[in-house]
């Protein structure tokens, strides 16, 4: 047999032992992770239920909340546009570098070009992520409150009873 086969055989023994030793902790971690996910799911369902009840009972607060989310989305669009202009300025610097050196700036613009492009990419990425997160929050809350009858009837009894037992009536003002 060649040398590679012997090395594979010798390495397979510790790998098998490590696998056997690691399976039980990983399995128990995965079981605990599933329980944690179930608990966080119940907490999210309970908070959504309380929030929907609150906004159904206080429609003026719901309008203020939606207005706040719309304002945040507009801010994210502005950040995106600023990032786009940073990227555009980086591209313009690259175009100007191709022209004969009449500005007297020389090659020092290379660093400025890279900084503008990186800043633009960072701002547009951040703004896109923030906007999508805010939109998901906006749409899910709006959908729950506008279809409150069907939503409230679809909430499991254990969530409804837990909320009533703890005396949660909604957000504090």
Q: Whole-model pTM?
A: 0.62
Phi/psi at 102 (5° precision) = -105, -15
Neighbours of 25 (CB within 10 A): 9
CB 125 within 8 A of CB 162: no
> What pLDDT is recorded for position 88?
86
Mean pLDDT of 14-23: 66
- What contacts 114, CB < 8 A, 6 or more positions away? 90
CB 170 within 8 A of CB 58: yes
Closest listed residue to residue 96, CA positions, set 150, 61, 104: 104
Residue 86 burial by Cβ neighbours in a 10 Å radius (0-12, 13-18, 19+): buried
Q: How far apart (Å, rounded) are the C-alpha atoms in residues 64 and 48?
A: 17
Q: How confident is the model at residue 170 (pLDDT cuts 50, 70, 90)?
A: very low
Read off the pLDDT of residues 105-162 as tens digits, 9 standing for 90 and up.
555 667 777 888 888 888 888 888 888 888 988 999 999 999 888 888 888 877 777 6
């Amino acid at each position: 047999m060649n040398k590679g086969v012997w090395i594979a055989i010798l390495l397979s023994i510790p790998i098998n032992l490590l696998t056997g030793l690691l399976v039980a902790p990983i399995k128990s971690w995965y079981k605990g992770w599933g329980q944690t996910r179930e608990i966080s799911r119940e907490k999210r369902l309970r908070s959504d239920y309380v929030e929907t009840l609150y906004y159904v009972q206080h429609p003026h607060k719901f309008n203020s909340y939606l207005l706040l989310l719309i304002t945040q989305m507009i801010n994210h669009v502005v950040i995106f546009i600023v990032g786009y202009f940073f990227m555009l300025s980086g591209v313009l610097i690259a175009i100007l570098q191709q022209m004969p050196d009449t500005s007297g700036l020389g090659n020092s613009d290379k660093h400025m070009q890279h900084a503008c492009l990186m800043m633009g990419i960072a701002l547009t990425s951040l703004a896109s992520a923030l906007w999508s997160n805010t939109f998901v929050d906006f749409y899910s809350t709006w959908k729950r409150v506008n279809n409150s009858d069907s939503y409230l009837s679809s909430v499991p009894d254990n969530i409804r009873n837990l909320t009533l037992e703890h005396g949660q009536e909604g957000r504090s003002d």
